Structure 1
C-alpha cells in the first residue's frame, strides 16, 4: 500500500482527535464564562452535543452534505458504513470521521445562544434538527457539490460553514429565549453577569487554539508537500494578532486590560483565518487577526447595547469574525495560493471584485439560511413544547439543580439546597 496514503490517513485521524479535543476547550470556556450554578449543566450538555451530532451526522448529515446532489442538498450515503471507498485521497471512513467533528463544533457554537436559560429538552430536539437540516445544507452548498462551491466560494476550513452557521443559530436562540434574568435594567443599562472562572476560560481558549491546528491543518487532507505547515503558520499569526489587538483596544478605551476580551480576540483571530488560512500570505494573516481583534471588541459592545444577551459571545467571536474571515480572502488571496486551493485572487492582487463578490454572496446566503431555518425551528419548538426556556425559579437556582438534580460544585452548594434536592 502507498505509504503516502497511509500517512495521510494517520494525519487526518490525529487531526480529528485534535478537533474532538476542542470540545474540552468549549467546556472550560463556556463553563468559565457563565455562573457557577450552571457549570455542570454546560459541561454535560457539551458531551451530549458530541453524541447527538455524531449519530445524526452518521444517519443523514453526511449524506445530505456529500451525497449525490439533488440541488439544495445531497441525497445518498445515509447511515454511512462504507469501508472500501476512497474520498479525497483518504479512506472513506477517515474522511467521514473528520467531517463529523466539524458538524459537532457547529452545534456546540449554536448552543451558546441557549446558555443559562435553555431547557435541556430543547437542546435534545434542536440538536437533532440543526444537525439534520441546518448545518448540512450550508455545508453542501460550499463543501459538497453545491452551488456556492461551484461559483468558487473560498472557505478552506469553515469560517462560514461551521462558525457563521453556528452563530446564526445562536442568534435565533438568543432572540427567542430573550435575555437572562437580571441582565438588563429598566433604563436599558446592562449588568455584568460575570463568568465564575477566568482561569477556566483561559485554559479553554488555549485548548481551542491547539485544536485549531487540527481544524485548519487537517483541512489540507494530506501530508504530501507539508502544506499543513504553512496553514499552521498563518493560523498562529492570526490568533496571536487577534489576542494582541483585542487586549490593546480594550486597554486603550477602558483603561483596563480586560481578560475575557483578550481571550475572545484570540478566538476571533482563529475564526477569521479559518476561511483564508490556505489562501493568504503571512503578513495578510496578521492583518486579518488584527482586524478580527478590533471587530470582536466593538461587536461585543454593540450586541450588549442592542440587548442581545450572548453569554458566550458566540455572535461576536464566531459570527462577526466569521464574516470578516470569509470576506478577507476576497481582499488578500494570492494568485498562487488561489490557483492551488480554488477560486480567484483577491482585490489587492489585481483579482478585481469577482472573488469578493462570491464571498459576500456566500456570507449572505449561508447566514440568512442558517438564521431563518433555525428561527423557524425554534419558534415551532417553543409553541409545541410549551416554551424552550426554563421557568424563572429554575433559572434563579441554576440549571445544575433544576435540570440535573446535582450541583457542579457540590461542596459549594448551600446546605438547605442539598437537603431539598
Structure 2
C-alpha cells in the first residue's frame, strides 16, 4: 500500500508538472484556438505583447496618475505638460510609481494577515476536537499550507488568474493574458487561464508574483476548511492527495469564473445580469467552495465512531480545549481585515475604512444573535455556538462588505448567526453528517448567504465598472433584481460543481488510498499512528496509569 500510495502521488505530480511545462512552453505566443487575450490586455498591451518586469522598476508611471482620482490630470494635460514642463512629467512618473508601490505594499501586507489566519484555523479546529487527535488536526492545518501552496504554484494560479488581463491598481500583470474561451449563443465563456504555470516564462514578473501571494493565501483558506469537517477520522496520506487536488484544480476553476475574468463574472456583460456574479472577498469563491467540499468529504468519510446511536440520535463529542478554539477565532477575525479590506487591492481606495467597519459589525452582530438564539431556545448561551456564529458573520459579510452600509452589515450578521445555529443542528440531526467543528454551516451555508445578501443589500455607492459594467453595484432592495439573479446563479453553480467534483474525487480516492484509518487507530487517537507525535504525552501517561 505504501508503494502504491507513493506511486500514485508521483504520477499525479508528474502529470501536473508535464501539463504545466506544456503550457509554459507555449507562453511566448497565444494560441487563438484555446487562448485569447483578456480585454484589459487588448487595450493596453503593445503589438508585440506585454513584457514581464521581474524587478518592478519599470512598473508604474505617469499613466498611473491619469484618472487615478477625480481631480487627476488627463492625458491631454500630460501632453501639454510634456511640451512646456518636462520636469512635471518626470514628477508624474515618480508619483505614478509611488502610487502603485503603495497599493502593492497594502496588498502584500493584507496577504500576510490572511496567511496568519492559518494559525487561527489550526487553533480553532484543534480546540473543537478531542485531545487524542490534537496533533493530527494541527498537522493537517500546518501542512495544508505547504501542500496547497505547491499545488497552486504548479498549476492552480495559472488556471485561476492566467487570463485576468492585469490589475489596474497594481499597474501591471498584463502578461496574464491567456484565457481558454468557448463561444456559446454568440457569447464568450471563459473557463480557465493558460498563463502562469510554475510562475515561469513571461510571468516572471514582480506584479504577478505579488498577485500570486495574495491569491494563494485565499486559496489556502478554502483548502483548510474540510480539515475541520473531516477531523478525527481522516488518514494523512489521503489528505496529502486532497491538498494538491483542491489547490491545483477545484478551487482555481471556480475562482477563475468569478475573479479571473471567467464566465460568471461576465453574466452582466453577456446577459445584462447586474455586474455578473459579484463576490468582493470570497464568500462563495473561498468559503462556500471550502464548505461544500467539506460536506462532500464528510458524507463520503462517514461519522466518527460512536457519534450516532443506533436510533440515529447524535452523541455529544465536545472539544477538548475551548479557550484554544476561541483564541483561534479571534486570530481569524484579526486576519479577516486583510481578507476583506485587502481585496480593494489598493491602499489609496479609502473605501477600506467602510469595509473594515462592516466586517467588525457583522461579526459582532452574528455572535450576539447566536448567543441570543441558543439562550432563548435552550436556556443557556453556548460559547462554542457563539464562537462559530462570530465566524459565520465574518463569512457572510465577506462578499458584500464593500457594497453595503453599516445597518445592512448588522442585519446580515444577525441573520448569519441565527442561520448558523439552525444549520448546525440540521446537518447533524437531519442529514446525519458528522462535522466536528461546524465547518459546513460556518463556511458553506453562510458563504451562500453572503453572496445572496450582496444581491439584496448592495446600496449603489460603490463598484463603478466592476466586472466591466458601467454604474455601481445595486441589489434587489436598491432597484436591481438582475444582480440578485446573478448571485443565485453563482451560488447554484458552486454547489453543483464543487459538490459533484469533490464527492466523486473522495469516492475514487477512497478506492486507491483509504480515507479512514482502522477502527482501532481511530478509537485510540490518530496522533501516534498518523503523524508520529502525541500532542499531550503527559496527559496520555496519566490516563494510562489510572
Q: Same fold (TM over 0.5)?
A: yes
* CA shift digits 1:33-66 (9 cap, x unpaired): 0000111111121111000111111110110011
Mapped partners of 1:225, 1:24: distance in 2? 29
Secondary structure in 2 matching 1:70: strand
Secondary structure in 2 matching 1:337: coil
- Name the structure where helix makes up a greater proportion of residues: 1
> Which residue is 1:278 aligned to?
402
Q: Tell whether the 8 Å contact from 1:37 to 1:399 is kept in structure 2 after alignment.
A: yes
> Which residue is 1:143 aligned to?
259
> Which residue is 2:530 aligned to?
403
1:378 aligns with 2:476: no
Q: Tell whether the 8 Å contact from 1:278 to 1:341 is kept in structure 2 after alignment.
A: no
* CA shift digits 1:207-245 (9 cap, x unpaired): 000000000011000111322111101111111101111
Aligned counterpart in structure 2 of residue 163 of structure 1, from 287, 295, 310: 287
CA pair 84-407 structure 1, distance change in 2 beyond 3 A: closer
Q: Report 1:330-349 matches (<5 A).
A: 330-339=455-464, 341=466, 344-349=473-478
Q: Report 1:36-115 matches (<5 A).
A: 36-67=131-162, 68-71=178-181, 72-81=191-200, 85=205, 91-115=207-231
CA pair 235-341 structure 1, distance change in 2 beyond 3 A: farther
Mapped partners of 1:69, 1:197: distance in 2? 47
Mapped partners of 1:61, 1:84: distance in 2? 16
Mapped partners of 2:109, 2:366: distance in 1? 26
Secondary structure in 1 matching 2:304: coil
Q: Tell whether the 8 Å contact from 2:283 to 2:398 is kept in structure 1 after alignment.
A: yes
* CA shift digits 1:119-153 (9 cap, x unpaired): 00111011111111210110011001200011111
User: How far did 1:359 drift?
Assistant: 0.3
Q: Tell whether the 8 Å contact from 2:223 to 2:290 is kept in structure 1 after alignment.
A: yes
Mapped partners of 1:137, 1:388: distance in 2? 24
Mapped partners of 1:312, 1:98: distance in 2? 26
Aligned counterpart in structure 1 of residue 441 of structure 2, from 316, 319, 323: 316
The structure with more radius of gyration: 2
Q: Tell whether the 8 Å contact from 2:196 to 2:203 is kept in structure 1 after alignment.
A: no
Q: Tell whether the 8 Å contact from 1:184 to 1:191 is kept in structure 2 after alignment.
A: yes
Q: What is the number of equivalent residue pairs in this alignment? A: 412
Secondary structure in 2 matching 1:154: coil
Q: Report 1:136-285 matches (<5 A).
A: 136-151=252-267, 152-285=276-409
* CA shift digits 1:356-400 (9 cap, x unpaired): 111000001112111111111111101122x21111001011111
Mapped partners of 2:436, 2:300: distance in 1? 15
The two structures, once aligned, show a CA RMSD in angstroms of: 1.6
CA pair 399-350 structure 1, distance change in 2 beyond 3 A: same
Could you say which structure has the greater relative contact order, defined with CA pairs below 8 angstroms and 6 or more residues apart?
1
Mapped partners of 1:159, 1:226: distance in 2? 22
TM-score normalised by L of structure 2: 0.74
Mapped partners of 2:147, 2:533: distance in 1? 22
User: How far did 1:252 drift?
Assistant: 0.6
Mapped partners of 1:102, 1:196: distance in 2? 28
User: How far did 1:416 drift?
Assistant: 8.8
Q: Tell whether the 8 Å contact from 1:279 to 1:341 is kept in structure 2 after alignment.
A: no
Secondary structure in 2 matching 1:413: helix
1:359 aligns with 2:487: yes
User: How far did 1:338 drift?
Assistant: 4.0
Unaligned runs of 5+ in 2: 1-93, 163-177, 182-190, 268-275
User: How far did 1:279 drift?
Assistant: 0.9
Unaligned runs of 5+ in 1: none
1:307 aligns with 2:428: no
Mapped partners of 1:363, 1:294: distance in 2? 20
* CA shift digits 1:261-292 (9 cap, x unpaired): 10011100000000000111111000000000
Secondary structure in 2 matching 1:225: coil
Secondary structure in 2 matching 1:157: coil
TM-score normalised by L of structure 1: 0.95
Aligned counterpart in structure 2 of residue 28 of structure 1, from 123, 127, 130: 123
Secondary structure in 2 matching 1:182: coil
Mapped partners of 1:404, 1:66: distance in 2? 35
Mapped partners of 1:268, 1:316: distance in 2? 8
* CA shift digits 1:80-130 (9 cap, x unpaired): 1467647xxxx2211110101011110001222321000001110111111
